[in-house]
A and B are shown apart, each in its own frame.
Chain A
Amino acid sequence: MTSRPLPAIDPPPADPVDNTAAEPSLRLEPSRKYPGALIVVEGIDGSGKSTQLYLLKRWLEIGGYRLHFTEWNSSPLVKSATRRGKQRRLLTPTTFSLLHAADFADRCERQILPLLHSGYLVLADRYIYTAFARDVARDCSPRWLRNLYRFAPIPDITFYFRAPLDVAVKRIMSGRPKLKHYEAGMDLNLSLDRAESFRIFQGRILAQYDEMIESDKFVVMDGTLAVNSLQKQMRQMVKARIDLARFAPKKSARRAL
């Protein structure tokens, strides 16, 4: 039902390298000079963010809007390296962070940016703030991380699903008995008990998310509310902040040009 075909898998880069220029220039400061829009959800595991983004996506899909959904940690290019690093426990906080940044860069350059430039509404389940929160919880330098992800476009809306640690941990632990090594923060030697380590690690990540609420203009969502009332709030916010008509089929697609 989309009014325009999906762009090719490997479109030309947004900023082609100008070989004649004396000074190389790849603009790393993100701009919003594209017709698309970017909506992201963030929050610790068990905060309810993925459920809410899924419902938002269904609402927009059913309405026929031109959209693309992307997930953290999903680029096939980098997947084998990440899997090997995790299985063999080769990762340090620095290489853990860099591999995820490489993965994100691949999606950003080949998916997110071209789609934003061609006028898509892009929905992202986790974004760079996941790296900021989690990698700072692993003792990476915030300054280093902010520089690392400087090429990422800034979202139009960042929904931060905030649930108390107990609530979120309980949701995760009741549904998923086996926590993975890095997921539980076992590399940080917080506790020999995996569940306890997970809890401490999630607590650190939660604190880092809270730190970013103002500086990164998060829209804070109360993750303890009922699913449908949260979704209502989310849809209202999207309607208020984003000119959805631009992403609607037919007439508005022409206007965007």
Chain B
Amino acid sequence: MKAPKTHSKNGRGKKDPVPSGASPRNYGLPLPGLSDEEFGGSLIVIEGMDGSGRSTQISLLTEWLESEGFAVETMGLRRSGLVAKDIDALLAENTITRMTLTLMYATDFYDQLEHRIIPALRSDFVVLADRYFYTLIARAVARGIERDYLNGLYEMALRPDLTFWLNVRPEVAFEREFRKSHAISYWESGRDLSLSDDLFQSFILYQAKIKNEFEALSGRHGFLALDGEASVVSVNNELRKRIASHLGIQRTHYRPSAALANLWR
């Protein structure tokens, strides 16, 4: 058995320097009822703005991991059974204030954490997170909410085993998104912040704010930044290399099935 390079599956706490007061598994506080519990599995987060290629990579990684015999669960923002629909409705109405929105997203996050991620980890799944609370912090900071407040809010979140940040320039992300859906979302361009009347300008300014915040988060949380502007194939090769080393997978060769072949470019 070759020892994995970065994280060992059962001794993740030892390799990862942890700020004082925090446990290897959370950011300072355990969830109520979860005190000293040990569970396995791996939590792998992919962060990056819309148009950075997150969902493409998650589809490919899911297939690869399943072909290697790992059970995979996914999570993402606004996917909880509890409040996802309510958030959709609130966003459509535009009457919601930033603190309420922040707390509704936090509810959505913790509901998935407690009802999806933790049960999956207990069953030794690999959980692939299509974004994590880092995005929620970046968005809230862009709207003027204090970092300290947000760090406290997510103190009970699980610390991921690996966090990848697919870094792209806002201009590139805009182009990709526009090509894909022929429209840019109100929220993804930060229109509520009145940064610019021009949609493109607003998107660029807003995403630049988000990106700044991600630079700060990246240092604090040890993100592995990847060039999201590189080809799908080369980003995927890099992701598989890192994940394989974490999970102790020896052979990393992968070709997508016919169902996903159109993504492979």
The answer on a CB contact under 8 Å between A144 and B83 is: no
The answer on a CB contact under 8 Å between B100 and A147 is: no
**Chain A, 13-24, contact with B by CB distance < 8 Å: what is the 0/1 string?**
101011100001
Binds B, one of A57-65, A95-103, A223-231: A95-103
Assess whether A151 is interfacial by the CB under 8 Å rule: yes
Bound-state CA distance A84–B86 (Å) is 10
Bound-state CA distance A18–B144 (Å) is 8
Q: Name the 8 nearest CB pairs between A and B, nearest first.
A: A147-B152, A102-B103, A17-B144, A109-B97, A105-B99, A139-B32, A98-B107, A81-B86
Partner of A95, one of B82, B142, B146: B82
Chain B residues lying within 8 Å of A24, measured Cβ to Cβ, are 141-146
Q: How many residues of A contact B (CB 8 A)?
A: 41
Report A150 CB to chain B, min CB distance, Å: 6
Report B92 CB to chain A, min CB distance, Å: 12
Assess whether B65 is interfacial by the CB under 8 Å rule: no
Assess whether A141 is interfacial by the CB under 8 Å rule: yes
The answer on a CB contact under 8 Å between A105 and B141 is: no
User: Which residues in A have some Cβ–Cβ distance to B below 8 Å?
Assistant: 10, 13, 15, 17-19, 24-26, 28, 77-78, 80-81, 84-85, 90-95, 98-99, 101-102, 105-106, 108-110, 138-141, 143-144, 147-148, 150-151
Chain B residues lying within 8 Å of A141, measured Cβ to Cβ, are 29, 32, 156
Report B121 CB to chain A, min CB distance, Å: 16
The answer on a CB contact under 8 Å between B193 and A102 is: no
Assess whether B106 is interfacial by the CB under 8 Å rule: yes
Chain B residues lying within 8 Å of A17, measured Cβ to Cβ, are 143-144, 193
The answer on a CB contact under 8 Å between A144 and B152 is: yes
Assess whether B95 is interfacial by the CB under 8 Å rule: yes
**Chain B, 2-33, contact with A by CB distance < 8 Å: what is the 0/1 string?**
00000000000000000000000000010111
The answer on a CB contact under 8 Å between A139 and B152 is: no
> Can you list 16 residue pairs at the A/B interface with Cβ under 8 Å?
A15-B144, A19-B193, A19-B194, A77-B96, A77-B100, A92-B33, A92-B115, A95-B111, A98-B106, A102-B106, A102-B107, A105-B102, A106-B100, A139-B32, A141-B29, A151-B149
The answer on a CB contact under 8 Å between B149 and A13 is: no
Chain A residues lying within 8 Å of B165, measured Cβ to Cβ, are none
Partner of A10, one of B95, B111, B142, B144: B95
The answer on a CB contact under 8 Å between B97 and A106 is: yes
Chain B residues lying within 8 Å of A25, measured Cβ to Cβ, are 144, 146
Partner of A80, one of B86, B145, B152: B86
Bound-state CA distance A80–B145 (Å) is 26
Contacts A17-B144, A102-B103, A144-B152 known; list 16 others, CB within 8 Å.
Answer: A17-B193, A28-B149, A78-B104, A81-B107, A90-B82, A92-B31, A92-B111, A92-B115, A93-B33, A95-B110, A95-B114, A99-B107, A105-B102, A105-B103, A139-B32, A144-B29
Bound-state CA distance A17–B139 (Å) is 13
Bound-state CA distance A164–B24 (Å) is 43
The answer on a CB contact under 8 Å between B156 and A94 is: yes
Chain A residues lying within 8 Å of B96, measured Cβ to Cβ, are 77, 106
Q: Which of B29, B82, B95, B155 has the most CB of A within 10 A?
A: B82
Report A235 CB to chain B, min CB distance, Å: 34
Assess whether B256 is interfacial by the CB under 8 Å rule: no
The answer on a CB contact under 8 Å between B99 and A109 is: yes
The residue in chain B whose Cβ has the minimal distance to the Cβ of A106 is B100
The answer on a CB contact under 8 Å between A95 and B107 is: yes
Assess whether B222 is interfacial by the CB under 8 Å rule: no
Bound-state CA distance A111–B109 (Å) is 26
Report B78 CB to chain A, min CB distance, Å: 13
Chain A residues lying within 8 Å of B152, measured Cβ to Cβ, are 143-144, 147-148
Bound-state CA distance A108–B103 (Å) is 13
Chain A residues lying within 8 Å of B195, measured Cβ to Cβ, are 19
Chain A residues lying within 8 Å of B110, measured Cβ to Cβ, are 92, 94-95, 98
Assess whether B75 is interfacial by the CB under 8 Å rule: no
Report A97 CB to chain B, min CB distance, Å: 9
The answer on a CB contact under 8 Å between A110 and B145 is: no
